[in-house]
Structure 1
């Protein structure tokens, strides 16, 4: 569910700069490391549910915070 066009070379040539649409302006990025098997299982579930992995993970975090009343 990733688009190779999401990244482009930065102006100074020092890596990549992701293009973000306006809807992402107020969101923050979090890097998440997981075991390959867990990632594969999660992506399979997301494909079955037809939702992006980000939506799935954000939902899990949101539900847990609600449960904990944070």
Structure 2
């Protein structure tokens, strides 16, 4: 999958920064015949980049647990 180019991040005062790329898919339909193709179930795939910054790491030396990010 071709990813987009990211703008340069705004400088921040935090000591650590973590960037995580994630994607997810959704499906829906519009229950109206005027919606054309969208009146049938179809899907969309989205791509997001999450940036988390902070000054302290946890007891395992991690800024954030990836499992917690995925739950969000």
**Same topology, TM > 0.5:** no
Q: Which has the higher contact order (CA 8 A, sep 6+)?
A: 2
Structure holding more helix per residue: 1
The TM-score, its normalising length taken from structure 1, stands at 0.24
Structure with higher Rg: it is 2
Q: Normalized against structure 2, the TM-score is what?
A: 0.24
Identify the structure with the greater strand proportion.
Answer: 2
